[in-house]
Amino acid sequence: MTKIYAIFLGLLLSIAAPVLAHGDMRVVGEVTAVDADSVDVKMRDGKIVPVALGPKTNITKDKVKADPKELTTGQFVVIEAHGDGYDDLVAVEIRLVPPPAK
């Protein structure tokens, strides 16, 4: 019985590990490109991060729902996204924000 339990636990952990690897990430920066499916954001360190747009992606400005057409090149954003890393992010929320103070 202990052997079966150990095998079951091992299988459960091997299935759960990829699911648990997903996490929430934040991307902050300036939009460098945008199309119907994704947005590219240049972060402070100069890295450009592509973020996919999903059907449930919320776009807000001043805590109010914004028109997706307001998401344009040059706009500063804070994006809450879900994914394994910067290579496979899907936006959950995009907040349009003023440019940082200089």
Domain ranges of the chain: 24-97
CB atoms within 10 A of CB 65: 9
Task: State yes or no: pLDDT of 4 exceeds 80.
Answer: no
Map tokens 């450009």 to a residue. 48
- Residues of the chain with pLDDT > 70, as a percent, come to 78
Q: Candidates 1.10.3300.10, 2.40.50.320, 2.40.30.170, 2.40.160.20; correct CATH number of 24-97?
A: 2.40.50.320
pTM of the model: 0.76
